Chains A and B, each alone.
Chain A
Amino acid sequence: MQNESIKSLHEALQYSPDNVPLRLHLAELMLQEKMYPEAAGQFTETLNRSYGNTRAQLGLASCYYHQKKYSAAVIVYEQLRDHLPQDAMVLYIRCLIKENSLQQAAELYQKILVQSPGFKDEEIDQYLRLPSSSATHQDIDEEEEMLSQKYFMEKPRLKFEDVGGMKRVKDEISLKIIDPLKNPALYKAYGKKIGGGILLYGPPGCGKTFIAKATAGEIDAKFINIGLHDILDMWVGNSEKNLHEIFELARKNAPCVLFFDEVDAIGASRSDLRQSAMRHVINQFLAELDGVQTNNEGVLILAATNAPWSVDAAFRRPGRFDRIIFVEPPDAAAREEILQSLLKEKPTESIDTKKVAEQLNDFSGADIKALIDLAIEDKLREAMSLGTIQPITTKDLLKAGRTQKPTTLEWFASARNYALYANESGLYDEILRYLKIKK
């Protein structure tokens, strides 16, 4: 029956190839019939005739999703971002999950939940909501469930091996917090105190957030990401989010990585006016860090900042963030690893990653990601007009590398001055070393 109408529509289109509604209808029928490649072809044709047609774009993205071309789908969805109906949104989120962009996925998911609070999607829930009702816990702690949703507690699958380069950072994290967690008895035997966190700093996009998440994945722990907005809301009036409840949640879910992103926002205010309100948050944070009331055992505390100079000095005392690690831009070898890991599931053609990596001085991981997106967008446009998938080549990446500019230089221009003029306790020696400045 359906096949019949597809056939007749096809014929009708032979006579009026420019009839957009007709072609859309055909494409949507094909999609229903799971004829994904054909449907994709028709949607593309439609787009050629009616540029920017939302229905066609949605259809095309849905074809990509079913063909497991997630990154292509993501690109289309991204363009439609603010006009996505709920079912498309669900597909979009699933694509993002497949692409490992969990944070973005979580944000969108929250949007859906705001619109329809009762919404459920098993596949998504599996990654973004942690079912606190596992077989062993019969009594569902509703409040905890609510909290873990509020702070997007998750269980990342990301491992250290997914993080390109950063060998030194990985070693430090292992030594300082993973090993003690794995062999607590050994540490106790030698009377070595466990505790204290790591503060990661460096230019944006070089993988601070990424490696924090991978730390959780590496040891199969849960991950709570407290971002700029959570921190901000602590002292912007509607502070239902409170520090104590965050630490409690982490303790209850040990082993757990509790990560404070952009931690300098706690207390980095230039005006003295709000000093008292700020002081309060800082003190509470310090008290929780020190684990005064409760034990922080099994909770690994990581923090990251692009502006270490704005981090309150009290944070750096022993037992708090007493290990401070500079996360530098990836060197050529690391860039190659990052390229390889980012290109893993994309259509490519024997790419000379070494050559590309060597061209990308000063690029951050995020810059490399942006560059690949740029190349893919180009390819996608090509593929749409040709009707076939074009693999990404070395040349495409080199070309994108010339358009995309590295973003780390701006950070170093400012960081350099801190290292030169305000490096009293040698805090920024690593920046000086990286910039090859001898003082």
Chain B
Amino acid sequence: MINIDILLERARVLLEQGRNKDAILQLQQALHQDPQNDFALSLMGRCLYNQKKYDEGMGFINQAISIRADEDYYFYLLAFGHYYKDQNLVAQRMLNKAIALNPYAADYFGLSALICIEEVELKDALKKANEGLEIDPENITCLNARATALNKLKQTDAAIETMRAALEQNPENEFTHTTVGWNFLEKGKHKEAAHHFREALRIHPNLESAQSGLKQALKSRIPPYRWLLQYSFWISNKGKNLQWILPLALFVLVRVVIAVLGEDSQLSIAVVSVMAAYLLFVVSSWVINPIANFTLLFNKDGKYALTNSERWSAISAVSALVIGLLMMLIGYIFSSPATVSFTDFIPGLILFSLALPLSNMQFPVSFKTKKGSGFVALILVILGLFSVLMLFIDKEGASFFLVIYFILFIGYNWTGLFRN
């Protein structure tokens, strides 16, 4: 039988090398010998975290804690699990316990600061990061958290200073480059952002936050997308729920104002126009994304940053837009000015509108999609194409499908306001 210390040391090294499966095998042997070995349990938890099995991992960490309740690091690990599961409140509570047991670990403050940033408690985040940096002025997590908090608090100079310090500390740290990239992106400097994301990916090609950052930076080269991104940064800095509350609040406002003042008052008209502008903005933002993705197809790096689904969604949505526009144009050119009527544009308009459901669809297309909205989108596309076809065969019969399409289309987009 192999000595348990050797098993644990092997597991530790394997875990460090990222060989989670091999580490787990060693740990299973160790736990077979001593099921109550809290160190083995905690290592097991970390392996499972690395495999993104957070619930299972937390199970092991909890077991370790039940054996040794005075080990601060275990609470830190537990906090990590909750953080990944977006249970930020519990995560903070666990971190407080860890800090109470050991107030001298800078990493605990760093994680706490990152969670505060996610909760848009920026002042708290800054405070935590600074506390951590008092313990260890070179702590990378705290430096990154501080830079991000300062950036979001619009203290740009201090943020840049912190980022420079972090990069000087360790120019080969992928997390620092990623943070710097996101901070630049938030400032609208997409070129600088792309540079740092590339650096991060050179060091750690599979770092997801750097991958998505690079994608955003490349898409930001088209101005409408850049504005959209600025808007989404702005709204997410205003608080977690605003994105969801804003359309609802606007809607209620419109109803109230109309009910009180009647449809014709000036204020009503103003409020309705704001609502309409907002709707137009949101709806167009849905189309801007596939268009931006489409431009990536012609970019050396961008081409490979897209997933297959995004690629096909972009191609089909842009095709719908272009073909729809062309059809409307042709309809206009070939009908004599005297007889031109709205109905000549309907087929083109429908194809044009299909860009919306297409940009939200998963590819390859499947009827067994898990998302309900994906299913409706698919139905919309089929119905739309079908009614266009009908328009050329049997104009009278087509109107029935057109009405259904129209109702479904409105419903689909209205609920879309609350979907993401």
Interface residues of A (CB under 8 A from B): 228-229, 232-233, 235-238, 264-265, 268-271, 307, 309-310, 414, 416-418, 420-422, 424, 437, 439
* CB-contacts of B181-201 with A (<8 A): 198, 201
Q: A228-B22, A237-B6 are in contact. Are A421 and B16 (CB under 8 A)?
A: no
Establish whether residues B16 and A269, one from each chain, have CB atoms under 8 Å apart when the complex forms.
yes
Establish whether residues B13 and A439, one from each chain, have CB atoms under 8 Å apart when the complex forms.
no
Fill in one digit per residue for B51-95: 1 if any A CB lies within 8 Å of its CB, else 0.
Answer: 000000000000000000000000000000000000000000000
Q: In whole angstroms, how far apart are the Cα atoms of A270 and B203 in the complex?
A: 12
Establish whether residues A414 and B206, one from each chain, have CB atoms under 8 Å apart when the complex forms.
yes
Instruction: Give A236's nearest chain B residue, CB to CB.
Output: B9
Establish whether residues A417 and B206, one from each chain, have CB atoms under 8 Å apart when the complex forms.
yes
Establish whether residues A310 and B17, one from each chain, have CB atoms under 8 Å apart when the complex forms.
yes
Q: Which residues of B contact A421 (CB under 8 A)?
A: 198, 201-202, 205
Establish whether residues A235 and B13, one from each chain, have CB atoms under 8 Å apart when the complex forms.
yes
A281 CB, min distance to chain B CBs, angstroms: 11
Establish whether residues A422 and B16, one from each chain, have CB atoms under 8 Å apart when the complex forms.
no
Establish whether residues A439 and B6, one from each chain, have CB atoms under 8 Å apart when the complex forms.
no
Q: Which residues of B contact A268 (CB under 8 A)?
A: 17-18
Interface size class of chain B, counting residues whose CB lies under 8 Å from the partner chain: 20 to 34
Establish whether residues A236 and B205, one from each chain, have CB atoms under 8 Å apart when the complex forms.
no
Establish whether residues B201 and A417, one from each chain, have CB atoms under 8 Å apart when the complex forms.
yes
Q: In whole angstroms, how far apart are the Cα atoms of A424 and B365 in the complex?
A: 37
Q: In whole angstroms, how far apart are the Cα atoms of A325 and B153 in the complex?
A: 51
Q: Which residues of B contact A418 (CB under 8 A)?
A: 205-206
A274 CB, min distance to chain B CBs, angstroms: 8
Q: In whole angstroms, how far apart are the Cα atoms of A70 and B198 in the complex?
A: 54
Q: A270-B18, A421-B201 are in contact. Are A437 and B13 (CB under 8 A)?
A: no
* CB-contacts of B1-30 with A (<8 A): 3, 5-6, 9-10, 13-14, 16-19, 22
Establish whether residues A269 and B206, one from each chain, have CB atoms under 8 Å apart when the complex forms.
no
A429 CB, min distance to chain B CBs, angstroms: 15
Partner of B304, one of A238, A270, A420, A422: A420
Instruction: Give B201's nearest chain A residue, CB to CB.
Output: A421
Q: Which residues of A contact B202 (CB under 8 A)?
A: 421-422, 424
Establish whether residues A269 and B205, one from each chain, have CB atoms under 8 Å apart when the complex forms.
no
Establish whether residues B10 and A236, one from each chain, have CB atoms under 8 Å apart when the complex forms.
yes
Q: Which residues of B contact A307 (CB under 8 A)?
A: 18
Does any Cβ of A come within 8 Å of B300's Cβ?
A: yes
Q: In whole angstroms, how far apart are the Cα atoms of A437 and B305 in the complex?
A: 12
Q: Which residues of A contact B13 (CB under 8 A)?
A: 232, 235-236, 269
Instruction: Give A114's nearest chain B residue, CB to CB.
Output: B1
Interface residues of B (CB under 8 A from A): 3, 5-6, 9-10, 13-14, 16-19, 22, 198, 201-203, 205-206, 211, 300-301, 304
B10 CB, min distance to chain A CBs, angstroms: 5
Q: In whole angstroms, how far apart are the Cα atoms of A265 and B13 in the complex?
A: 9
**Apart from A232-B14, A269-B17, A416-B304, what are 14 other A-B pairs with CB-CB below 8 Å?**
A233-B6, A235-B13, A236-B10, A236-B13, A265-B17, A269-B16, A271-B16, A310-B18, A414-B206, A418-B205, A420-B301, A421-B202, A422-B203, A424-B202
Q: Which residues of A contact B3 (CB under 8 A)?
A: 238
Q: In whole angstroms, how far apart are the Cα atoms of A417 and B9 in the complex?
A: 31
Q: A269-B17, A271-B16 are in contact. Are A420 and B6 (CB under 8 A)?
A: no
A278 CB, min distance to chain B CBs, angstroms: 10
Establish whether residues A270 and B16, one from each chain, have CB atoms under 8 Å apart when the complex forms.
yes
Instruction: Give B197's nearest chain A residue, CB to CB.
Output: A421
- 14 interchain pairs, CB-CB under 8 A: A232-B14, A236-B13, A237-B6, A237-B9, A238-B6, A269-B13, A270-B18, A309-B205, A417-B201, A417-B206, A420-B205, A421-B201, A422-B202, A439-B300
Q: In whole angstroms, how far apart are the Cα atoms of A186 and B324 in the complex?
A: 73
Question: Which one of A264, A269, A414, A417 has the greatest number of beta carbons of chain B within 10 Å?
Answer: A417
Q: In whole angstroms, how far apart are the Cα atoms of A359 and B7 in the complex?
A: 42
Instruction: Give A417's nearest chain B residue, CB to CB.
Output: B205
Q: In whole angstroms, how far apart are the Cα atoms of A310 and B198 in the complex?
A: 19
Q: In whole angstroms, how far apart are the Cα atoms of A418 and B19 in the complex?
A: 18
Q: Which residues of A contact B300 (CB under 8 A)?
A: 439
Establish whether residues B304 and A437, one from each chain, have CB atoms under 8 Å apart when the complex forms.
yes
Question: Which one of B9, B16, B203, B205 has the greatest number of beta carbons of chain A within 10 Å?
Answer: B205
Q: A422-B201, A422-B202 are in contact. Are A417 and B211 (CB under 8 A)?
A: yes
Q: In whole angstroms, how far apart are the Cα atoms of A430 and B58 in the complex?
A: 40
B300 CB, min distance to chain A CBs, angstroms: 7
B211 CB, min distance to chain A CBs, angstroms: 7
Establish whether residues A270 and B206, one from each chain, have CB atoms under 8 Å apart when the complex forms.
no
Q: Which residues of A contact B206 (CB under 8 A)?
A: 414, 417-418
A40 CB, min distance to chain B CBs, angstroms: 34
Instruction: Give B7's nearest chain A residue, CB to CB.
Output: A236
Q: In whole angstroms, how far apart are the Cα atoms of A270 and B174 in the complex?
A: 13
Q: In whole angstroms, how far apart are the Cα atoms of A439 and B300 in the complex?
A: 7
Q: In whole angstroms, how far apart are the Cα atoms of A307 and B17 in the complex?
A: 10
Q: Which residues of B contact A237 (CB under 8 A)?
A: 5-6, 9
Q: In whole angstroms, how far apart are the Cα atoms of A23 and B14 in the complex?
A: 49
Q: In whole angstroms, how far apart are the Cα atoms of A229 and B300 in the complex?
A: 42
A313 CB, min distance to chain B CBs, angstroms: 14
Q: A271-B16, A421-B198 are in contact. Are A232 and B10 (CB under 8 A)?
A: yes
Q: In whole angstroms, how far apart are the Cα atoms of A250 and B10 in the complex?
A: 26
A203 CB, min distance to chain B CBs, angstroms: 15
Instruction: Give B198's nearest chain A residue, CB to CB.
Output: A421
Q: In whole angstroms, how far apart are the Cα atoms of A237 and B10 in the complex?
A: 9
Question: Which one of A232, A310, A437 has the greatest number of beta carbons of chain B within 10 Å?
Answer: A232
Q: Which residues of B contact A271 (CB under 8 A)?
A: 16
Q: In whole angstroms, how far apart are the Cα atoms of A268 and B198 in the complex?
A: 23
Q: In whole angstroms, how far apart are the Cα atoms of A265 and B15 in the complex?
A: 11
Partner of A270, one of B5, B10, B17, B22: B17
Q: In whole angstroms, how far apart are the Cα atoms of A421 and B198 in the complex?
A: 7
Question: Which one of B10, B17, B22 has the greatest number of beta carbons of chain A within 10 Å?
Answer: B17
Instruction: Give B305's nearest chain A residue, CB to CB.
Output: A420
Instruction: Give A307's nearest chain B residue, CB to CB.
Output: B18
